[in-house]
Amino acid sequence: MSKQRIQLVTRADDAGSCNSANVAIWNSYRQGIVLNASVMVPAPAFEEAAELLGSEEGLCVGLHVTLTSEWESVRWGPVLPAQEVSSLVDEHGCFPRSRRALEDNGARLDEMLAEIEAQLEVARSHGLNIAYVDTHMSVRFSGGLEEPLKELARREGLVYGYDVPWLPAVQGEFANSVEEFIAQLEAADPGTYLAVGHPAYDRVDVRMFGEGIGVSRDWDRRMFTDPRVLGYCTAHGVMPIRYTEA
């Protein structure tokens, strides 16, 4: 391997969303370069994710704070009773579909923090050694949440997942996300960066989330496992790392 040029925090989001995501994330760790997995506690396949990922000592697991439920056919709500966090739920007891809808619903900061702490407690109660925290659908920007969330992370001994800069974007036409990812790595200056994907297999449970989701997330899986990516990392000094090593 050439001299180390880039340290890359490789993060797979949405563990717990469905079986095909859970298995893809696990395989992206076992066979690819993923070293960090963000788990959605309120999502329907969370318990499977905890069982599958929690025993992997080399995998850094994070809390993917979830306060929205954006899909049409698959919905979820808070882990706390809906009446305790009424500003976070719609008429069906589910989270709003977007960050804007969450804000329009009048989401209260105290209720957001209570739900986040409850999600962290549930994750730990299922044997997950939570090492970092990040947020689904950028909800950290809602209702003054970001600074209290950073304080919660400090209090709980967690890495705040946005202290590492993103791998810079590149301009151009790419046939797929594998080619784009390699181009990003090629263009990046030496340093430490964050690379995020949503690995899944293009199967029925993923397709239920919406048109084209299965295809795009299967390419995210390949972004972390494709031999071209693995070969580039080895040949060009790209070192995947955990948040705890950044």
Percent with pLDDT over 90 in the chain: 98
**pTM, rounded to two decimals:** 0.97
Q: What is the pLDDT of residues 105-116, one digit of tens each?
A: 999 999 999 999
Under-50 pLDDT residues of the chain = 1
Domain that holds residue 112: 6-245
* CA distance linking residue 45 with residue 40, whole number of Å: 9
**190 within domain boundaries:** yes
**44 within domain boundaries:** yes
pLDDT of residue 72: 86
Burial of 161 (0-12, 13-18, 19+ CB in 10 A): buried
Number of domains in the chain: 1
| Ranges of H-type helices in 54-108 | 99-104
Torsion (CA) 211, 214, 220, 224 in degrees, nearest 10: 180
**130 within domain boundaries:** yes
Q: What is the pLDDT of residues 39-54, one digit of tens each?
A: 999 999 999 999 999 9
> Containing H/E element for 223?
helix 213-225
CATH number at residue 124: 3.20.20.370
Cα-based distances in Å from 235 to 9, 222, 230: 18, 18, 9
**1 within domain boundaries:** no
**197 within domain boundaries:** yes
